[in-house]
Amino acid sequence: MNTESVHTIAIVANATPHTEIAEMILMALCFFFEKRYRRAM
């Protein structure tokens, strides 16, 4: 990972409230697991 993308992530993290970050992480995890388990079924 290059420093530019890390810097951008840091700016976005500072700009968004922590509750929104938690929701985005939760949604990403749900999406990831849904794709993974759908393939297994």
Give the model confidence (pLDDT) of 1-41 as tens digits. 567 777 776 666 666 676 787 888 888 888 888 877 777 66
Domain annotation covers residue 11: no
Domain annotation covers residue 12: no
Domain annotation covers residue 9: no
* Amino acid 16: pLDDT: 64
* Total tally of structural domains belonging to the chain: 1
Domain annotation covers residue 34: yes
Closest Cα to residue 13, out of 1, 24, 28, 2? 24
* Amino acid 15: pLDDT: 65
Q: Which domain holds residue 24?
A: 17-41
The answer to whether the CB of 35 falls within 8 A of the CB of 28 is no
Give pTM, 2 decimals.
0.43
Domain annotation covers residue 31: yes
* Amino acid 19: pLDDT: 76
Domain annotation covers residue 36: yes
Domain annotation covers residue 24: yes
